[in-house]
Structure 1
């Protein structure tokens, strides 16, 4: 019976996200919320934005249902949902009326602090809490930076969520499955041809939600810390490497640009479908390796994560050098 209720919940989240994405697209077209092609864009036609609100709504409704069914989980879900609302809210505002970077960053830091406080409450470990607070801010912005071509940010979030569902114990695996279901509801509108982009409301929310899953995993303590980052390696390397390169070159690194690896390949004529699938293959290989090492001691897991990240950084450097 419990499995049947879980299946019904996941199907409902998928359906809510699918329907809400369609409504978000109609709203965006009516309000003329469109991303126009340009030098700092990787698409060729004007496309509606803000579809990620559907993922946010699907998750919030799911948390509300869980909180009503399991009252002892309600306070934790309320705090986590507050952080999600903050991140999605500032993103929704920015989608309608662009904001300076610093107010957005301030909200991201506040959301990260809320999630860090939850980890501190769960574990009593200040180091884990601080790590999650910083990771939250990083992932919110990384997903925003990397949401530039059809399906890329959504498929990477989907793969990471499925990986976390495998590693978390049954009660804590549910949020990962809910996120996967919500992303699947949005994905048909975004890949293989985007009819709507998720916008800042969606990309930032995905980063926050993934940070929440990492927080659950680190608090549970079944798998080495570093392994939780392996499903995120592709985005962390491309976003982090590009940011560091721009800073070392004295560029205005907080401004929009098209210097990420995937953007450079688009300029060279590679299709969005090919690039999204290439990133997916890289992540699937990393997740497969992480699953194998998750069964071993934390030292082996950490070593595997470091080796995988080092190899990924080398591939990124070689590929970026070849297309610049």
Structure 2
């Protein structure tokens, strides 16, 4: 008697493997393409690398995601529905396309923001239509556009954005499957494996950077997975927010501080905590590993408690963000003190 894997398991494995292989191959091709087209990020005052490095490698993540995630979301148990999956795919393509153009030559902020808003609005209206009120689309759009841009802001040193995507995809996959949303869980694992394929080339010293095509699209995917799980079961929002806390805290607090100081907050800078840590002499690998430690030591236990005990989930999420804000402030002050000692010496 011949034995075979059950259909859903075989399909899930197929989606995961295909996403990884396609992503790996496309990132390798993107390195040669970027050199040929002159898509190189040169070192500078507002950059954290020391050698010209090709950008746009995130196209591998995008293509791998498009190969694996829609199939998993549509065909596996716990599907969010054809409308949501279609809006998700359109959003990924639109945001990746404008990011790809920006990687070839810097675009004005207005057309980029317009595409991000349009793509996020389409997805959010589709998701909100499955809830009690379409009014949920309004806060979802704000959250979605911010998630897109904060991931762009946090993609500034070797490996950090890829490691965050790897962690988020793996943790969300476990969370979704445990909550009965098997299709969403496998889709999250597809993100995990595409980011892993990219990280192989992006780990320090990076052979290629993610570029806007990758960082902005990954931000949209992270938001989309969170929104789909929230629509599946509202209490899953809290563990998902905990899993994203490292990037949300650093990007949000940095933006708020710059706005309060009257700085041109929308211009490139090196004021995030991870950038300060690199400027103070820490290696890219060490800094990225520090964010991963936060994820494993704080986010995993916090998300598990929030999942198992929904009544305390909001408090658990709040505690994680308060602790993260304290760590952020302590890290920033430590970096500033070290700079002052260096200048005075």
Whether TM-score is above 0.5 comes out as: yes
User: Per-residue deviation at 1:6?
Assistant: 1.7
- Say whether residues 1:33 and 2:36 are aligned partners: no
User: Offset at 1:121?
Assistant: 2.1
- Provide the rounded CA distance (Å) in 1 between the counterparts of 2:307 and 2:131: 21
Matched, 1:320 2:342: no
Which whole-Å CA distance do the structure 1 matches of 2:103 and 2:314 have between them? 38
1:142 corresponding residue in structure 2 = 150
How far the C-alpha of 1:66 sits from its partner, in A, is 5.2
Partner residue of 2:296 out of 284, 288, 292: 284
Whole-angstrom distance in 2 between the partners of 1:310 and 1:41? 29
Moved over 3 A (4+): 63-76
- 1:269 to 1:212, Cα distance in 2 relative to 1, 3 A: same
The CA distance in 1 between the partners of 2:70 and 2:165, in whole Å, is: 22
Evaluate the alpha carbon distance shift between residue 264 and residue 134 of structure 1 in structure 2; reply closer, same or farther with a 3 A threshold: same
Please report how far the alpha carbon of residue 9 of structure 1 lies from its aligned counterpart in structure 2 after TM superposition.
2.3
Show the counterpart of 1:110: 118
Q: Name which of 148, 163, 182 aligns with 1:155.
A: 163
Q: Structure 1 CA distance, aligned partners of 2:11 and 2:172?
A: 21
Report the TM-score when normalising by structure 2: 0.89
Residue 79 (structure 1) shift? 1.7
| Distance in 1 of aligned mates of 2:155 and 2:89 | 23
Question: Contact 1:158/1:183 (CA < 8 Å) preserved in 2?
Answer: yes
Q: Who is 2:173 aligned against?
A: 165
Partner of 2:340: none
- Cα 1:130–1:46 change in 2 (3 A) is same
Q: Secondary structure at the match of 1:195?
A: coil
Provide the C-alpha distance between the structure 2 equivalents of 1:72 and 1:262, rounded to a whole number of angstroms.
35
Q: Where does the alignment leave 5 or more consecutive residues of structure 2 unmatched?
A: 337-345
Once the 2 structures are TM-superposed, how far is the Cα of residue 159 of structure 1 from its aligned partner?
A: 0.8
Are residues 271 and 209 of structure 1, via their aligned partners in 2, closer, same or farther at CA, if it must alter by over 3 Å?
A: same
| Pair 167,4 (structure 1): closer, same or farther in 2 beyond 3 Å | same
Provide the aligned length of Structure 1 versus Structure 2: 323
CA contact under 8 A between 2:68 and 2:190: conserved in structure 1?
yes
- 1:253-307 Cα offsets, whole Å, 9 max, x none, are 100001111111111110000000000010122122211221112x300000001
Cα distance between partner residues in 1 of 2:235 and 2:40:
42
Q: Is the 8 A contact 1:224 1:302 kept in 2?
A: no
**Cross-structure match for 1:295:** 308
- 1:164 to partner: Cα distance: 1.2
Q: How does 1:1-324 map to 2 (within 5 A)?
A: 1=5, 2=7, 3-63=9-69, 65=71, 73-168=81-176, 169-221=181-233, 223-285=235-297, 286-297=299-310, 299-324=311-336
Q: TM-score, normalising length from structure 1?
A: 0.95
- Give structure 1 stretches of 5+ with no counterpart: none
* RMSD of Structure 2 on Structure 1 (CA): 1.9
